[in-house]
Amino acid sequence: METKEFKFNEEELKEVEKYISKYPDKKAAVIPVLWMAQRKFRHVPKPMMVYIAELLDQTYSHIYGVVTFYTMFSQKPRGKYHLQVCTNVSCMLREGDKIYQMISQKLDLKNNEATSDGIFSLEEAECMGACSGAPMMAINEDFHENLDITKIDQLIDSLK
């Protein structure tokens, strides 16, 4: 089994330096640097949190606190396509909860799980501020609004 090294490469370290140079305090670079890790590894596991803590002269507990506070970070690997389905009030009133159930059944995933091939992961999300387009979901950083079951079926099949 391949052992992943949870580190940045030389080019990525230059990007880290760019973030650090933007702010008077290295602490301000924590979120963008964690986001680099999230995008690279699709999660931020403990070894990466320890590495980033050292890189930015922060305590591990501070890094852990940020990772566990913001839903944009995950300690478990997410799929290549991370589906966040909003089931909050506006979306729920327009069947967002049924859409979530449908996707959950179609991909055989529970909340915060990823498919074994690493293609999809699913998350039941709180309001993402796109209520006027309810029901909605995000696929990675793209919002898909005014969804219905047929549209979702086609959308997911097109990503396979």
List interacting residues with ligand FES (CB under 6 A). 86, 88-91, 127-131, 134, 136
Rounded Cα–Cα distance for residues 37 and 73 (Å): 9
Q: Would you give the DSSP letter of residue 2?
A: P
Nearer to ligand FES (CB atom), residue 34 or residue 99: 99
Shortest distance in whole angstroms from residue 152 CB to ligand FES: 15
Nearer to ligand FES (CB atom), residue 20 or residue 131: 131
Quote the longest CA-to-CA distance of the chain: 50
As beta bridge partners, residue 123 has: 84
Shortest distance in whole angstroms from residue 129 CB to ligand FES: 6
Nearer to ligand FES (CB atom), residue 8 or residue 135: 135
Q: Would you give the DSSP letter of residue 15?
A: H
Nearer to ligand FES (CB atom), residue 24 or residue 129: 129
Shortest distance in whole angstroms from residue 141 CB to ligand FES: 15
H/E stretch holding 7 reads none
Phi-psi region of 140 (alpha: psi -120 to 50; beta: other; left: phi over 0): left
